[in-house]
Amino acid sequence: MSSSVLTFRGSCDNEDIEAKTLSVSSEVFFSCFPFNIVFNRDLMIVNVGTGLQSVAPHMLGEPVDEMFILNRPLVDFSLANVSIHSSNLISPHFERCVLKNY
C-alpha cells in the first residue's frame, strides 16, 4: 500500500479585491461585544455593553478618562488620540470602578 501527501500553495496579490465597508446595526454590534464602551466627544460614557453594565451600572454619564486608563497605546486618553489610533487595538483598564456586590 502506498500513500500520497498533497500540498497546495496559493497566493493572492489583492489587486482585484475591493475594500468594502461592513455596516451592522447597533443592536448586532452590542450583542456581539457585551463589554463595549461608547463615549461622546466630551468623553462622557453614553452607553456600555450588557457585560459591563451588569458589574458596574454606575458608569453611564461618567467621564471615560476617569473610569478607565489606557493600557495600550501609551498615550493620554483624549478623543484626538483615540481617533488617531482607531485602527489599533485600544486597551482600556478600570481606573476607578466599584463592582456590584452579589
| 37 vs 63: CA distance, rounded Å | 11
Sequence-distant (6+) residues with CB within 8 A of 101 are none
Question: Which of 59, 69, 41, 64 has the alpha carbon at shortest distance from 100?
Answer: 59
CATH of domain 26-94: 3.30.450.260
What tens digit of pLDDT does each residue of 69-78 get? Answer: 777 778 888 8
Question: Which of 91, 97, 95, 63 has the alpha carbon at shortest distance from 75?
Answer: 91
Question: Which of 87, 46, 53, 93 has the alpha carbon at shortest distance from 71?
Answer: 93
What tens digit of pLDDT does each residue of 11-59 get? Answer: 666 666 666 677 888 888 889 989 888 999 999 999 999 988 888 888 8
What tens digit of pLDDT does each residue of 80-92 get? Answer: 988 888 776 666 6
